Amino acid sequence: MNMSEVMARYLRAAGVDVMFGYPGDPSVELLEGCRNVGMDFILGRREGTAGLMAQAYGMLTGKPGVALSTLGPGSTNLVNAVANAYLDRTPMIAISGQIDTKRLPTFTHQVVDQHSLFTPVSKWATEIAPHTVGHVMRKAHRIAMAPRKGPVHLTTPADYVGAAAFDDEIKLPPVDGVGHGVVVYGEDADPVGLISGAKRPVVLYGISAMQGNAGAEIAALAEKIGAALVSSPMAKGTVAETHPLFAGVLDMACNAQMWDLVRSADLIIAAGFDGVELIKAWDVPAPVLHIDNVPNTDQIYESPVEMVGSISHILASLVEDVKSADGFGAKAIKAHRDALMAAYEDGRVSGVLNPSDVIRVAKADAPTDTIVTADVGSHKLLVGQGWTTHNPRSCLNSNGLSSMGFSLPAAMVAKYLNPDRNVICFTGDGGLAMVQSELRLAASLGLGLKVVVFCDNSLNRIELKQMARQYPSTGTVIEDTDVVKMAESMACDGIMVETEQALADALSRPVSNTPLVIGARIDPKQYWTQF
């Protein structure tokens, strides 16, 4: 086998069945290797969006998404997606071509130092060669999947990709095993006693809890001690948000009410919560019991006791050891939820389509297994709090690096992997403008997803800050685009709506193999009240 064939066979053995990218000269052998092992290749319209597709694949499957670029501008365009996966804690193997090693020391055309470029935004960056390919693929896989999960970057020189491989052994590391060893940190640590002394505990769960499938154990612990359940945005659905103890999502819409609840607690049980998702600084007086598969090295919050190991196993053992308690209780949580949802509608203007109306209408008839994606912007805060999520990995958003343009590529991959499920992409007109060429790819793949565009002709998050300082809107206005014509030019269906009924009618259209782009003309005044 040549080096590319070993790489392709390794990825296939690891369960990866599709690669996303934009190839170049150094990619030819790898593309052929992928074809020979039955791995699909999806040609994104640019490297950055192909990388976001690979990230979404990692989010949805738990396996590393694979992104491919060529050298020079291909690799520089890929950087943002790799950084996104890095801060969103998503496993990825990113591969970039490079010129041949003979010319590399002295040639300059399209040559960038990829090791220096990707090292700050990946868990590992290295060059792969015929005499190291099997070992490097195994190490890259293990690093990408190890807590905290994230991307690695591999450089493939042009004279290596087709060269005979001297290291062709394909051995998968034990990346999916779950050990039961637990390390407890803290002077005189007594996590059971800490929980038993709490009268108003909150379980705050995050990315690692979702990735570790710890939802059942989180719910069981909350039920036993009467804890309020609070989700991070990327962990939505880890516990069904119809659970009577579910209190809401932190740092999304109505965040003042959510922080008031968290600050009222006398104990925070942080289950796989990652501070990378925090928008507001941590300002909670209650002690934190840190439960995660990594120690609390960030120190965004102090934690007198840390329990490090399998999150689900730790929680299950605590359920057995702690005593039952009333805690907050379902009645108090319901009162909080009712007040939260009332605040969620604050600022609505009669006679127009408000941002919160779009979320309410979209979820009214959506099946419980619907997958939604949200882009970055004011609408993400509303989706994060207002969309009722029933299952893990079914509400995707970028909340670490928080890169605009994420939602459409993510929704495309969701529909590609789950053709029988309803998929709704929520995006702003700014976010869509960054990636709208991918609609043509969605059409060619026959992906019948629904793309709901919040049309207000503004970069609203920034414009709101200008308004708060009584500055005029400068550099935040997006020119109006004919959504229908744009969609049709991409072989999609398109429609503009300005009322709740028109939006409901558009969303209820029979599912087809053609993407539907719905331009929702909203009045942004509600954002001012909300944010």
DSSP string, 206-245: -HHHHHTT-HHHHHHHHHHHTPEEEE-GGGTTSS-TTSTT
For range 238-259, the mean pLDDT: 97
104 or 248: which leads in pLDDT: 248
Distance CA 57, CA 464 (A): 33
Among 134-148, 456-470, 497-511, the least confident range = 456-470
User: Which residue in 396, 445, 409 sits closest to 60, CA to CA?
Assistant: 396
Burial of 102 from C-beta contacts in 10 A (0-12 / 13-18 / 19+): exposed
Across residues 182-209, what is the average pLDDT?
94
Is the pLDDT at 187 greater than 80? The verdict is no
First-to-final CA distance of the chain: 57
Q: How far apart are CA 507 and CA 527, in angstroms?
A: 23
Written as six digits, the tokens of 104 are 């590399």
pLDDT in tens, 158-178: 999 999 999 999 999 987 665
Within 243-354, where are the H helices? 255-263, 311-321, 330-344
What pLDDT does residue 221 have?
98
Estimate the share of the chain in helix, then strand, then coil, as percent rounded to the nearest 5.
40, 20, 40
Q: Is 345 exposed, middle or buried (0-12, 13-18, 19+ CB in 10 A)?
A: middle
Q: What percent of the chain has pLDDT over 90?
A: 90
Per the CB < 8 A criterion, the answer to whether 491 and 443 are in contact is: yes
Residue 282: partners with Cβ closer than 8 Å, 6 or more residues away: 275, 300, 301
**Which stretch of 10-19, 266-275, 471-480 has the lowest confidence by average pLDDT?**
471-480
Whole-number pLDDT of residue 327: 96
For residue 88, give the nearest of 150, 145, 168, 164 by alpha carbon: 150
- Compute the distance between CA of residue 383 and CA of residue 262 in angstroms, rounded to an integer: 20
Per-residue pLDDT tens digits for 363-417: 998 999 999 999 999 999 999 999 999 999 999 999 999 999 999 999 999 999 9
State how far Cα 24 lies from the chain centre. 28
Q: Which among 210, 174, 215 has a CA at the least distance from the CA of 90?
A: 210
Asked if 38 and 7 touch (Cβ cutoff 8 Å), the reply is: no
The residue-averaged pLDDT of 30-35 equals: 97
CA distances from 396 to 14, 237, 384, 423 (A): 23, 10, 10, 11
Q: What is the pLDDT of residue 177?
A: 62
Q: How far apart are CA 195 and CA 190, in angstroms?
A: 9
How far, in Å, CA of 397 to CA of 1, rounded? 39
Give the span between the Cα atoms of 279 and 182, in whole angstroms.
30
**Three-state DSSP state, 307:** strand
Give pLDDT tens digits for 36-69. Answer: 999 999 999 999 999 999 999 999 999 999 999 9
What's residue 516's pLDDT? 98
Least confident window among 25-29, 418-422, 462-466: 462-466
Checking if the pLDDT of 194 tops 90, the result is yes
pLDDT at residue 458 tops 90: no
Q: What is the β-pairing status of strands 305-309 and 371-374?
A: unpaired
Task: Write the single-letter amino acid at 478.
Answer: I
What is the arrangement of strands in the sheet containing 516-521, beginning at the earlier edge strand?
395-397, 371-374, 423-428, 450-455, 516-521, 493-497
pLDDT at 111: 93
Statement: residue 22 has pLDDT above 70? yes
What 8-state DSSP symbol labels residue 324? P
25 φ, ψ (degrees, to nearest 5): -55, -45
Q: Which pLDDT score is estimated for 175?
A: 76
Average pLDDT score over residue span 184-204 = 93
Answer whether 0.85 is exceeded by the pTM: yes
Contact status, residue 444 vs residue 415, Cβ threshold 8 Å = no
pLDDT at 179: 66
**What is the 8-class DSSP label of residue 186?**
S
Q: Is the pLDDT of residue 217 over 90?
A: yes
Specify the amino acid at residue 149: K
What is the pLDDT, as a whole number, of residue 84?
98
Distance CA 287, CA 264 (A): 12
- The rounded percent of the chain whose pLDDT value lies above 70 is 99
For residue 242, give the 3-state DSSP assignment.
coil
